Amino acid sequence: MSDGDLIIASDDAPPDLDAIRRAAVRIRGRVHETPVISSRSLDEEFGGNILFKCENLQRVGAFKARGAANAVFALSDDDAARGVATHSSGNHGAALALAAASRGIPCWVVVPTNAPRIKADAVVRYGATVVPCEPGLRSREEGLTRVLESTGATRVHPYDDYRVIAGQGTTAVEFLSQSPALDVLMTPVGGGGLIAGCAIAAKGIKPEIRVIGCEPANADDAKRSFESGNRVVVDAPDTVADGLRASLGVRNFAIILDYVDDIVTVSESEIIAAMRLVWERLKMVIEPSCAVPVAALMNGSLNPVGRTVGVVLTGGNVDLDNLPWQGAG
Amino acid sequence: MSDGDLIIASDDAPPDLDAIRRAAVRIRGRVHETPVISSRSLDEEFGGNILFKCENLQRVGAFKARGAANAVFALSDDDAARGVATHSSGNHGAALALAAASRGIPCWVVVPTNAPRIKADAVVRYGATVVPCEPGLRSREEGLTRVLESTGATRVHPYDDYRVIAGQGTTAVEFLSQSPALDVLMTPVGGGGLIAGCAIAAKGIKPEIRVIGCEPANADDAKRSFESGNRVVVDAPDTVADGLRASLGVRNFAIILDYVDDIVTVSESEIIAAMRLVWERLKMVIEPSCAVPVAALMNGSLNPVGRTVGVVLTGGNVDLDNLPWQGAG
């Protein structure tokens, strides 16, 4: 079980580029290689070369398929047999359910009652058990603890887990192999799984690249943590970006301090305008969380002029009956 | 001017595969090579391998960029200097405007007043002049005649033009080079530019492929023409698929009779359900017209079981404030 040994070792410490490359090999064929797209009209408006990595086209409609697949397929057979469990406002839950179904093991997902219904539905569709809880990190943790104690399942945290971080980092490995010219890499920041993995991978491949985290001003725990050097926790922040309501994980924060260049914030109205711009111009269905880096380009937080900027479009699971610009209009 | 000579010659007769390949060379770099995507969950539901050619990600958000670019860049310098003109409910207008702007020549677009505003806006954005007219083919033709007489511009018909047909056919050349395994190719049918060009190209490359045209039952002129052998014209049909309101062109009908295997129809509610399915599962913003072949897969008009079916997603220009399922709900 050399593969398992490698993972157990790498789970004790943050993944390096090699560990992320091994994760990419492990999940190959279990997740999609997603396309990179661009728009000449957007490039003209922004004055830079903006490349979009379409993880909204990933399996389960979000990059979360990567981390979940890496975590599930790295388990020993004995651990796997007892199943996996997590809490998630949605995309990680669906991703873990899919990965567990692929390996033929049970899966439980603790889902807060304010998560979009489409996300809980996806968990069920992949054959996992949904365990409802109240919104907020504390309720999610309590619900999950009960599940773990009663089942013996392995916890796969949505972001504060080195195997998950390594899996999410495969996004940057793939992006830079498709688009080696990137000067800047922008991702949303919620719990920090994506940006932590991507920052390690991107700086490993191309040390001069700038990695920028983007988050809602209404959920700015990452920015405040990054600037103060102390991890700030925000419970149940009020933002349309439902995928970014979680606070930064412990492991994620440490990696972000080491590898990320800056964290910028955007307003709720900027998120909605950016989401709409992507729908209209890129013809991509993206969820609000996914629009946050685009909002940062639109509000001038990052000046793309003359640069090649990579944006990870993180997910496309949105309730088509409740689009945010319709409530606002 | 050997390039111009080739075109004048090929404009006298339907393009063959070679002419379509030359069109592909002519427009290279002026249009995008669009990605092909698929969804495992949709494949499981449909029981076949469904591949989607994302022309909604094409320049101007529709395959029409191909035909317009081929027509404009095939003009002699003298003809080009006097500009180009067309009538269009939208995507062809934007496409011609873009192609004309690329060549630095004037462009006039006659747009019916019931066209989605996003489409007229795009014409203006690319620097062309919009000439409004009443809905219906007769009004469009009258408006265009006045423009042609006053400007000396060259008419570039949205579909009933061999250069446009050749340009649209490059979609199939590209699709089959990306996905050689296609057993079936499905496209919407409006005026017939896309299916005519694609049928010639697809049958030329792979004679055993089946080419199926799909249209709204409310605008079933192509089906009735195909079955009767006589071209039927429907003026201003009432369908949510605004891009398919035009009747089959003369040149298009002749090619369809020779090359297309079948024409199938779908209801308005099937179009809307298919559009929503693509948004939810493929994360692609598509316009109603574009959903018509997907609706034909959903309603059983074509059985995909065990086959590799290619669907051209033709365009993504839709008014996000007026989504069809919201009116219906």
What's the per-residue H, E or C state across A149-200?
HHHCCEECCCCCCHHHHHHHHHHHHHHHHHCCCCCEEEEECCCCHHHHHHHH
**What pLDDT does B154 receive?**
96
Label residue A138 by pLDDT band (50, 70, 90). confident
Same-domain status, A87 and A149: yes
Q: What is the pLDDT of residues B193-235, one digit of tens each?
A: 999 999 999 999 999 999 999 999 999 999 999 999 999 988 7
A321–B321 CB contact, under 8 Å: no
Same-domain status, A140 and A241: no
Q: What value does the mean pLDDT take over residues A165-178?
A: 98
How many inter-chain contacts (A to B, CB under 8 Å) are there? Answer: 54
**How many other CB atoms are there within 10 angstroms of residue B308's CB atom?**
17
Q: Which of B127, B155, B183 is at the close of a domain?
A: B155
**What pLDDT does A118 receive?**
75
B326–A329 CB contact, under 8 Å: no
Which of chain A's residues have a Cβ under 8 Å away from the Cβ of B286? 283
CB of A66 within 8 A of CB of A113? no
**What pLDDT does A328 receive?**
45
Same-domain status, B207 and B308: yes
Residue A180 lies in a domain: yes
Same-domain status, A15 and A30: yes
Cα→Cα distances A305→A183, A188, B40, B132, B169, Å: 11, 21, 38, 38, 37
Same-domain status, B148 and B190: no
A323–B320 CB contact, under 8 Å: yes
Distance from CA of B284 to the nearest CA of A (A): 5
Residue B318 lies in a domain: no
Distance from CA of A64 to the nearest CA of B (A): 16
Distance from CA of B232 to the nearest CA of A (A): 34
* Token pair in block for residue B234: 């429907």
- Among A40, A279, A284, whose Cβ lies nearest the Cβ of B320? A279
Q: What is the pTM of this model?
A: 0.90
**What pLDDT does A6 receive?**
38
Distance from CA of A279 to the nearest CA of B (A): 6
Structural domain that includes position A122: 65-155
Residue A325 lies in a domain: no
Q: Decide if pLDDT at A7 tops 80.
A: no
Q: What value does the mean pLDDT take over residues A163-177?
A: 98
Q: If you measure CA to CA, which chain A residue comes closest to B280?
A: A317
Distance from CA of A322 to the nearest CA of B (A): 10
Same-domain status, B274 and B127: no
**What pLDDT does B327 receive?**
61
Residue B47 lies in a domain: yes
**What pLDDT does A11 receive?**
61
A285–B284 CB contact, under 8 Å: yes
Closest CA to B175 of B158, B198, B196, B159: B198
Which of chain A's residues have a Cβ under 8 Å away from the Cβ of B326? 321, 326
Element (H, E) at A86: strand A84-87
Which of chain B's residues have a Cβ under 8 Å away from the Cβ of A280? 118, 285, 320
**What pLDDT does A327 receive?**
61
Same-domain status, B188 and B40: yes
**What are A108's strand-pairing partners?**
A85, A129
CB of A207 within 8 A of CB of A107? no
Per-state percent for chain B, helix, strand, coil, to nearest 5: 50, 15, 30
**What pLDDT does B11 receive?**
61
Percent of chain A at pLDDT > 90 equals: 81
- Among B118, B283, B316, whose Cβ lies nearest the Cβ of A316? B283
Distance from CA of A326 to the nearest CA of B (A): 7
A320–B282 CB contact, under 8 Å: no
A325–B326 CB contact, under 8 Å: no
Strands (E), chain B: 36-37, 49-54, 84-87, 107-112, 129-133, 154-155, 184-188, 210-216, 262-266, 308-313
Residue B254 lies in a domain: yes
* Average pLDDT over chain A, rounded to an integer: 92
Q: What is the pLDDT of residues A65-122, one digit of tens each?
A: 999 999 999 999 999 999 999 988 778 999 999 999 999 999 999 998 888 787 788 8
Residue A327 lies in a domain: no
Which of chain B's residues have a Cβ under 8 Å away from the Cβ of A279? 285, 320
**How many other CB atoms are there within 10 angstroms of residue B103's CB atom?**
18
Same-domain status, A262 and A168: yes
**Which residue would you say has higher pLDDT here, A290 or B119?**
A290
Same-domain status, B269 and B206: yes
Residue B322 lies in a domain: no
Same-domain status, B30 and B148: no
Q: What is the pLDDT of residues B101-140, one digit of tens each?
A: 999 999 999 998 888 787 788 899 899 999 999 987 789 8
**What are A31's strand-pairing partners?**
A28
Q: Which of B102, B133, B155 is at the close of a domain?
A: B155
Q: What is the pLDDT of residues B5-33, one digit of tens each?
A: 333 334 678 999 999 999 999 999 999 99
Distance from CA of A232 to the nearest CA of B (A): 34
Same-domain status, B69 and B58: no
Q: If you measure CA to CA, which chain A residue comes closest to B275?
A: A320
Which of chain B's residues have a Cβ under 8 Å away from the Cβ of A286? 283
Helix (H, G, I), strand (E, B) or coil at B212: strand
Q: If you measure CA to CA, which chain B residue comes closest to A276?
A: B320
Q: DSSP state, A30?
A: T
- Among B37, B276, B285, whose Cβ lies nearest the Cβ of A279? B285
Which of chain A's residues have a Cβ under 8 Å away from the Cβ of B97? none
Q: Which of A130, A155, A180 is at the close of a domain?
A: A155
A56–B283 CB contact, under 8 Å: yes
- Report the length, in residues, of chain A: 329
Same-domain status, B113 and B252: no
How far is CA A224 from its chain centroid?
Answer: 20
Q: Decide if pLDDT at B159 tops 70.
A: yes
Q: Which residues of B touch A (CB under 8 A)?
A: 35, 37, 40, 54, 56-57, 59, 61, 118, 125, 276, 279-280, 282-286, 316, 320-321, 323, 325-326, 329
- Among A283, A323, A325, whose Cβ lies nearest the Cβ of B284? A283
CATH code of residue B117 = 3.40.50.1100
Q: If you measure CA to CA, which chain B residue comes closest to A285?
A: B283
A283–B316 CB contact, under 8 Å: yes
* Average pLDDT over chain B, rounded to an integer: 92
- Among A41, A276, A285, whose Cβ lies nearest the Cβ of B283? A285
Distance from CA of A258 to the nearest CA of B (A): 34
Which of chain A's residues have a Cβ under 8 Å away from the Cβ of B279? 285, 320
Question: Domain total for chain A?
Answer: 2
Residue written as token pair 């529709």: B62
Q: What is the pLDDT of residues B33-72, one digit of tens each?
A: 999 999 988 999 999 999 999 999 999 999 999 999 999 9
Q: What is the pLDDT of residues B261-300, one digit of tens each?
A: 999 999 999 999 999 999 999 999 999 999 999 999 999 9
- Among A41, A59, A276, whose Cβ lies nearest the Cβ of B40? A59
A282–B321 CB contact, under 8 Å: no
Could you give the CA distance from residue B161 to residue B139 in angstroms, rounded to a whole number? Answer: 19
User: What number is the ipTM of this complex?
Assistant: 0.88
Residue B326 lies in a domain: no
A35–B35 CB contact, under 8 Å: yes
Q: What is the pLDDT of residues B133-149, one digit of tens each?
A: 998 778 989 999 999 99
Helix (H, G, I), strand (E, B) or coil at B5: helix
A321–B326 CB contact, under 8 Å: yes
A329–B316 CB contact, under 8 Å: no
Residue written as token pair 């991978």: A201
